[in-house]
Each structure stands twice: as C-alpha cells, then as structure tokens.
Amino acid sequence: MPDVAPRGAEPLVLKVLALAFTVFIVGYILVPILVTVAMSFNDAAMIRFPINVWSMKWYADFFGSPQWMDALENSILIAIGTAAISTTSGVLCAWAFQRFHIPFRDMWYILIMMPLFMPGVVLGLGVAIAFGGISIGGYAFYGSRELVMLAHSLWAMPLVFMLMEATFKTIDYRIVEASYDLGGGPVRTFFEVVLPLVSTGIVSSLLFAFVISLNEFVMALFLTDRDTQTLPVLMWLSLRSAGTPRLAVASVILALTVFTCLTVIMLWYIRQLRKVAR
Amino acid sequence: MFLLWKVVNDEGFLPLADVLCLPGRAEQECPCDPRGWSKSLTVSTALELRNVIRRFGTVVAVNDVSLNVSKGEFVTLLGPSGSGKTSTLRLVGGFENLDGGSILLNGQRIDHLPAYRRDTATIFQSGALFPHKTVAENVAYGLRMRNVPKDAIMKRISESLDIVRLKGFEARYPAQLSGGQKQRVALARSLAVRPAILLFDEPLSALDLSLRLQLRAEIKRLHDELKFTAIYVTHDQGEAMAMSSRVAVMNAGAIEQIDKPETVFHSPTSEFVYTFIGESCCLPVRVTSAGIEDKKGQAVGLRLGERLAEGECRIYVRPSRLRLISEAALLPNQLTARIHFIEFLGDLYRYHLKAGALELAADHAGSIGHGVGDEIEIGWRNEDMRVFR
Amino acid sequence: MTDAVRIDDASYETQRTAQERRKLLAPWILMLPALVIVLVFFGIPTVYMVRMSFNLHMDQRLYVPGFTFEHYVNLFSNPLFTNAILTTIKLALVASLATVVIGYAFALLVWLKPARWRLLFIGLALAPLLISEIAIIFGWWMFFPKNGLLSYGLLSAGLIHEKISLMYTEFAAFVGLVYVTLPYCFFILLSIFDGIDKRLLEASADLGASPLKTFREVMLPLTWTGILVAFSQSFIWTMGTYATPSALGPDTLWTMGFLIQEQMLGKHNWPMASALAVVLVIGVAAVMVVTRSMQSERTSFHA
C-alpha cells in the first residue's frame, strides 16, 4: 500500500485559507463600489466619513446641472456611435475572414489587432496630434464627438472582430449553403440567414463596444473640448478641484447606465432562447 | 464611386438587381417555372457532366467523371467515403468549383454560375433548416428568392407540406421538430421551388433505421408521383437499390459502373463493384499445373467446373449462393472445409468455414446438424462465381 | 446541344471572369470599414507620431518641423525621465506580480467551487470591468484619506487612535492598479483552468499527493503558459497606465503615461510627448515578443 498523506490538518488549514481569501477578495472588489454608492446619498458637501445625513440632494443636483447632464449626453451619444461603428466594421471584417480567401491574412489580422495592445495614452496622443486642427467642410473634426467615436472604435472594433470571428466559426455552414442553394444571393443570405444565426454575438459586441466607450476617459481627455467632454472626463477634471458627492452620483449614474443595458440585453437573450428552444 | 460600381458590376445590371432584389431577374436568370415541373425542362437530358475534374491539393477527388441524367431519372451515386460522390454532387450544386470539364443543366452550361444562380435544390444530411425561421418561412424561402408573388407562395407552401404529410406544422420552429420531420421539411423546401434537378446529400444517414426505411419509401413514392429528376448520394446499398432508376458505383473519384440496380447487383463489371454490392467471400488462390493452392502454398480441396488459367487470382462467391453437404454434391464447383464457428442471424445461420488459409462463409436457413470442427462439402454453380486477377 | 454550348462559350468566358473578379474584390469591400479605421486613425497617427518625435521644440510653439534626436537623448539622460521609466517598470512589475498571484488564487477558487457559486463570482469579477476607471479611482479616493472609510472604520473598531491617511501613497496606487487589472488576469487564468481536466487533481490525490504537492507538481506546470500570458498582459496594461497612479499615488510617482499627458497637454511639447510614446510602445512590443517566444518554446517542448 503506497504512502498516504496524513489527512486531517492540511485540508482544514486550506479550508480556512480559502474562506479568508474569499472574504478578502469579495471585500476588495466591493469596497470602492459600496463606498461610492454610500457617498452618493450623503447630504453633506464634503466627502468624509461618517455619513451623518442621508439624502438624494446630490442626485437632484446632478440632474439639474447642465454641465453634467451635457457630459452624460455626450457620453451616451459617443458610446452609441462607437457601438454602431465598431460592430458594423468588426462584423463585416470577421465575415470576410471567415468566408473568403485573403492574401497575407495573418498580416492583416495583426494589423487589425494592434491598436488593442496600445495604451490609451498613446492612441489618444496619436489621434490628437494627427488630427489636431483639421476640419472637414467647415466642421471642426478635432474636438468633435465623431472623432472620439472613431478613436474608441480603435479598441472596440478589434474586440468585436475577435468575438465575431469565434462566433462565425460556430455556425453550421450547411445552413448558409442551403440559402445559396435556394437562390439567396450573397447579400440576401448575409442579412437573412447569417446575421440571425449570430444575433447573440452581435448583441454582445454592441454591448461590449458601448461599455468600453462609455467608460473610457484617457483618449476622450485628449480629444474632447468643453462642449463635447464626456462624463468620465468631467469627473477626472473635477477630481482635483471639486470633491463633492456629486462625483459619487456621477459614478453611480455611469454604472447604472451600464447595468441597465446589461439587463435589457439579458432579458432579450432569455426571450430568444425561449423562442427557439420551446 | 461610380467607377467602383462599374467595376463591380461588369456583368451589367444583374448583380445590382441581386442586391436590390428587383423583379425581372427572375425571368432572366431562373428558368424555373412556378407553375409546374415539366415546363422547366426543355431537353430530355436534364443534367450532363462532361469530364468533370475536382482536385483538393494533390488529391483528385473527382477524376474525369462523365454522366448523363435524363428527365425524371433518379440516379444514385453509391460508394464508400472518399469515393468522390459527395464532391460530384457539390459540384453540380455549385458549392465547389470545377478544376476541369463542364456541367450542363438543361443544355446550358452552369459550371461558372454560383450556387444561387443554378436551378438546383439540395437536401442536406442534417436538413440545414434555418433555425430562426418557422417551417412555413423555411419552405417559402426559395420562392421568395425567385420573387414569386405572395399568394402563389402561400399556395405552394401548403401544397409542399401536404405532399410530405406535414400539414399543420407551418408555425413550428425546427428546434421543435424530430429528425424525420426536419428532413421532411427540408424535402418540402426543395420541392417547393420545382428545380430542374434535386440533389440529395446522404439525407437519411443521420436517422435511425426504422425512420430511414420510412423516409426512403416516402422519397420513392414522391418520385413516382411527381417524377422529378434527382441525383442521390449515399453509401447505403439498400437505399441505392430500392430508390434508383440507375445506380452509379463510384470508387476513388471515378464511376466504375452505372446501370439499373438489378444489373449492377447481378452483373458487376469490376472487382470493386462486386465486393461493394452485397456480401462476398474472397478466395485468393494460385493456380498451378499441379493443382490449386492457397497463399501459403498448401494445396486446397477445391474442384472447379471450368479450368482456370495459371497464376494468381481471386475467386469470389456470395454466402447466399453456397450450398452445403448434400445439396453441394451435384454442383460443378466444390470445396471441402472445416466449420470454424457458427453465427445465428435470426433468419438464417451463417457458417464460417476454413480450408487451409482460405476463409469463407455460407448461409443456410436451418441447422445442418454439424458442429464446430466438422468437415463438410460446399458447392456452387459456375454462374455464382467470379474470378478476378 | 453542342451548338448551344459553343455559342455560349463566349458569354461563358465573360461571365466567368466577371465572377472571378467579383470574388476577389468582395473580401476587400467587406474589410474596408475596418481597414479604414485602423489605417486612418491608427496607422497615420502612428506614423505622424514617430515623425513628430524627431521634430524640434522651441519656445511656446507646439512643434517646429525639423529633425533632431534631442528628445530621445533627453529622455535617456535626464534623470527626470529615466526615473519615470524605471518607476513605471517597477510599478508595472510589482503590480503585475500581485495581480497574477491574486488572480490565480481567485480563479482557482472559482474553478474548484461548485457551479452555483461560479456565476456569482464571475459576476463579481466582471464588476471592475463594467465600471469606469475614473469611478474606480474615485471609489478608492474616498476610502484611503484621513476622512475616508478606511480611517473611519479602523477608528470605530478601535484598532487605531487617530485618523490615518493612506492616500497619495505608493500603496494606494498599487491597490488601485491591481484592482483595475485583476479582472483580465482572472478571466485569462479561468479559461486556462477550464481547459484542465479536474480528474487530474483527483488522480494526483488518489496517488497520495498532498494538496500542496498536487499544486506544485500538477497545477503549476499545466498552467505555466497561462501564468505567463496573464503576467505579460498585466504588465503591458500597467506599463501604459496613467490615471490610477497619478490620482492615488504620491506626486513623485511619475509614470510614463503621466509624463506623456503632461508633455502633451501641460507643456505643449508635442515632440517630447511623441518620443515618450514611441519608447513606451517599443518597450511594450518588446515584452510581447519576449513572452510570445517563451510561449512557443514551451509548446514545442511539449510537442
């Protein structure tokens, strides 16, 4: 009979360690979240603990402030734009890679993925330098929302591409062939058969791109001006100067926007599953 | 912008119509007639393959295949995997490109056309139904692509589902259907467009036995009723024999023999066809002046009715054609062998026999009263034996 | 019938070549939007930036066209910059190490736990990703200072006697940095773990190995490449960071990211900012190449 390790002491130590670690990690992740949520309901003007009076005062302040509401509006508009741009280009590109033969495929793949590995500072700097002062048809490009959307797409589009590439690989190509076989041309097949097959991938892509853009602030810092600044940018600029619970409210609003989208997507997803698998 | 459009649309307005799904394309490109079968074929030869070649790298999947399919014929491509039957079918369907030769449908070359411009309809192995569309939408798909008017589509859907006995299933989704039902919808979907030729890509191999037999009979019935033209690919001999007007046995990318099922079964022209169709036993022997010996050089008690030329050859017999003991005595070809083991196959007993290095099997309806280890006589007629060198 | 074919041959050829041309063009049309984005908004700026790093900078102007290496020389000789480079690397190394260790433990925990916990923990790990970095910074910004939650909590618990501030310390920057990078590390490692058959652990225990031995002999070798990938990803990410350390850390904690921003927006010295960016990117690329080669060595060893 081979030596059996002495049971008893070790598993208990491990169990305790595991529990302690679990507490630690849960606490670690939740601390900033809880702190922010708590502070957003603080009535006082200063950020300090303990919180003596609770109220929704700063929420009212946030929704009443044009500067902050504009920033929120900018953020959402830019996020929607980024989601649209990056999902469209990412999906089309991934389909091209899946369906067609492309010369120097690997090289193009690396090229498309490259921006993902660049720090936000570098990307923001590059775009700001290259497009600083450029205007198209009288409309100032630099400082515009559109430029930020495109800059954010530098990160979002490769992610969409990666996700959709993996998704396209999972579809049963015979179904696509069936569509061709019955007379559906490439364009019709794409819209009527392929896209519905990968609808979950597309929705996930839209969500990813939206969240990335909404939360991003380094590139936005370089590329926005006073009129187009996004909420995270405004928060960053206010950090040093005005440390009020309004910032906490802003954080909560930002997070709520993300969670609302997430919930909507989840509900849609569940409805989809129920429809097809009944 | 205009230049780009011009370059992309060298063919003229057709691709643009493709994109915009304009009417007018239907009449120009698609010879299929929503009103009936026979009008869509103007010549009696529906499909012609001329010296078709298809390569995958260094492997030649389809090796100079020529085939004519007449209107209303049901031709089966039968063969083991890798024989090129599926590749041939996919070439006709337009899912793969030729490396040589040509394909004519209804007298016109189609091998340059993409799949969506060919008047073919394929029934895939897994059905390949659109999972996000209902049964009705699936069946309607091909008709919509051909810009058939809406009321005609509705009529055609109910006709097609009726034919495959799935009336009432219009609103169901593929996920709610059984395997057999899915294949019937696939059939309805392809029948609905009344193509010049139907292509079956091993549609029954994913189903269990009873379902397979059931659908096999259905397809045959449909063919007798509608008289469509079809190419059917399978590795199952039973299917091939039961359903086809002609069977083409394929091996290594070429058609070894193409004939009526009975002819292929009773008069195979090559060793491959003989061994592939039905069951057979192989007796590899060497004929010398002194007698007949097996591979190891031992003499075997094989007495043949006709003298064979000297040299190595392979003698083939079928288990069902061998006679045992008393019945063997009167036959011109006889062999003495020892019973190795006995298999009970329900309807009959199969006796596995050994004679020196030779092994064979003989079927008999009842027990013959001998057991393992006994030596018995086996006999067969001249016409039940084939010799290949 | 042969006549029909012969007449068709001419139109057949034209149709066929048009078809082939379409097939060649199609993928490029599909890839066009993505390529435009990458080439115009990444390719051009990169080229621009590299070119800019060689420009001159005089007085208060953004840049003066010219060609000089002075910014690079300055970068590597001026202690201001060299310190920043070293600080960045040091911070990135330490933060990555901690992230990988914590991430590994976390992923291990989730992987070994039964399924019903898994979803909860994945949701938890997802949280920092869904929250903006600025919100995270702000969260810790309210936790560390004298009047923050940490101080209040410890005071109330009686563990300390006067308010304490960990704000603007290297530790705070470190904590924030790990927080931001942890989710990526976690998911990379978790997916590696999912590729391992749990029964290997059972087999190891069955053969008499203690949990620690099993970890060392079975888990560690199998997940080694995963650890490398996670580490390099964290390292690359933290090298480029700028907001978290500068907000939470002391004013002396200058990272390259911070310097780039300062040179760009503060000092309006575009060439210098570009030079810094170029050096940063080359550093990041070097790390990626090194990790990639280490990975492939490993896999060829296995094969």
pLDDT for the residue A80: 95
Type of residue numbered A223: L
Which of A167-176, A265-274, B162-171, C148-157 has the lowest average pLDDT? C148-157
A235 and chain C in contact, CB less than 8 A = yes
Element of type H or E holding B101: strand B100-105
Chain CA centroid to CA B184, Å: 19
Q: What pLDDT shows up at residue B14?
A: 37
Q: In this predicted structure, what is the pLDDT of residue B33?
A: 38
Q: Say whether pLDDT at C163 is over 80.
A: no
For residue B162, which phi and psi values (nearest 5 degrees)? -65, -45
pLDDT tens digits along B341-383: 999 988 889 999 998 888 899 999 888 888 888 888 899 998 8
The mean per-residue pLDDT over the stretch A5-11 comes to 53
Confidence of residue A277 (pLDDT cuts 50, 70, 90): low
Please state, rounded to an integer, the average pLDDT across all residues of chain B.
85
| Residue B257 and residue B93 in contact, taking contact as beta carbons nearer than 8 Å | no
* Mean pLDDT, all residues of chain C: 83
Report the distance separating Cα A105 and Cα A92, nearest Å: 15
Q: What is the pLDDT of residues A91-122, one digit of tens each?
A: 999 999 988 888 888 899 989 988 988 888 88
Q: What is the pLDDT at residue B42? A: 57
Percentage of chain A lying above the pLDDT 70 cut: 92
CB B190 within 8 A of CB A179: no
Q: Can you tell me the distance from the alpha carbon of C5 to that of B45, in angstroms, rounded to the nearest whole number?
A: 14
Q: Which residues of C touch B109 (CB under 8 A)?
A: 5, 8, 12
Rounded to a whole number of angstroms, the distance from the CA of C153 to the nearest CA of chain A is 9
Among A97, A154, A235, the residue with its CB nearest the CB of C138 is: A235
Q: Which string of DSSP letters, residue by residue, matches B244-305?
A: -SEEEEEETTEEEEEE-HHHHHHS--SHHHHHHSS--EEEEEEE-SS-EE-TTS-B--EE-S
User: Do A255 and C131 form a contact (C-beta atoms < 8 A)?
Assistant: yes
pLDDT of residue B43: 65
DSSP codes of every residue in A133-151: T-EETTEE-TBSHHHHHHH
Q: What is the enclosing helix (H) or strand (E) of A12?
A: helix A9-40
d(CA C247, CA C139): 11
Please report which confidence band the pLDDT of residue B29 belongs to, taking 50, 70 and 90 as the band edges: very low
- Distance (Å, whole) CA B96 – CA A211: 42
Name the residue with higher pLDDT: A8 or C85: C85
How far, in Å, CA of A34 to CA of C184, rounded?
Answer: 22
State both tokens at C105.
């433990």
Average pLDDT, chain A: 86
HSE, CB side, 13 Å, CA atoms: give it for residue A143. Answer: 9
Q: What is the pLDDT of residues A55-65, one digit of tens each?
A: 888 888 888 88
Alpha-carbon distance of B229 to B75, in angstroms, equals 8
pLDDT at A253: 92
Average pLDDT over residues B324-344: 87
Minimum mean pLDDT among A25-39, B50-64, C96-110, C288-302: which range? C288-302
Is the predicted pLDDT of residue A9 greater than 60, yes or no? no
The pLDDT confidence band at residue C73, using thresholds 50, 70 and 90, is confident
* Touching partners of C (3+ C-beta pairs < 8 Å): A, B
Task: Work out the burial of residue A162: count CB atoms within 10 Å of its CB; fewer than 13 is exposed, 13-18 middle, 19 or more buried.
Answer: middle
Q: How much is the pLDDT for A7?
A: 47
Percent of chain B with pLDDT over 70: 89
Q: Cα(B247)–Cα(B75) distance, rounded to whole angstroms?
A: 6
A158-204 tens-digit pLDDT = 999 999 999 999 999 999 999 999 998 899 999 999 999 999 899 99
Whether the CB of B94 is below 8 Å from some CB of chain A: the reply is yes
- HEC letters along B157-207: HHHHHHHCCCCCCCCCCHHHCCHHHHHHHHHHHHHHCCCCEEEEECCCCCC
pLDDT above 80 (res A243)? no
> What's the pLDDT score for residue B184?
94
| Percent of chain B predicted with pLDDT > 90 | 53
C136 with C180: CB under 8 angstroms? Answer: yes
Residue B294's DSSP bridge partners are: none
Q: Write b or e for each residue in A33-71: b if 16 or more Cβ atoms lie within 10 A of its Cβ, otherwise e.
A: bebbbbbbbbeeeebbbebeeeeebbbeebeeeeebebb
- What's the burial of B296, exposed, middle or buried (CB within 10 Å: 0-12/13-18/19+)? exposed
Using a pLDDT cut of 90, give the percent of chain C over it: 11
Work out the average pLDDT over A219-233: 88
* pLDDT score at C215: 82
Query: Tens of pLDDT along A41-77?
Result: 887 777 777 777 888 888 888 888 899 999 999 999 9
From the CA of B214, how many Å to the nearest CA of chain A?
Answer: 24
Chain C 8-47, residues with CB within 8 Å of chain A CB atoms? 23, 26-28, 30-38, 41-46
Q: For B21, name the nearest residue in chain A, comparing CA atoms only.
A: A188
| Residue A105 confidence (pLDDT) | 87
Chain A environment of B114 (Cβ under 8 Å): 180
Q: Supply the pLDDT for residue B8.
A: 39
Q: Could you say which residues from 90 to 149 on chain A have a Cβ atom under 8 Å away from some Cβ of chain C?
A: 90, 92-93, 95-97, 99-102, 108, 111-112, 114-115, 117-123, 125-131
Indicate if the alpha-carbon torsion angle A99, A103, A107, A108 is positive or negative: negative
CA distances from B253 to A242, B246, B261 (A): 79, 18, 20
Reported as a single tens digit per residue, the pLDDT across C218-243 is: 888 888 888 888 898 888 888 888 88
Closest CA of chain A from B174, distance in Å = 8
Residues of B in contact with A174 (CB under 8 A): 124-126, 128
* Separation in Å, CA B56 to CA B51, B96, B97, B115: 17, 11, 11, 19
The sheet carrying B385-388 orders its strands as B292-293, B281-287, B311-317, B385-388
Contacts of C256-260 with C-beta under 8 Å, sequence gap 24+, read C256/C84, C256/C85, C256/C88, C256/C280, C257/A119, C257/A121, C257/C88, C258/C84, C259/C81, C259/C84, C260/A121, C260/A122, C260/A125
- Would the CB atoms of C25 and B7 count as touching at under 8 Å? yes
pLDDT in tens, C180-205: 999 989 998 988 888 888 888 888 88
C71's tokens: 């910014």
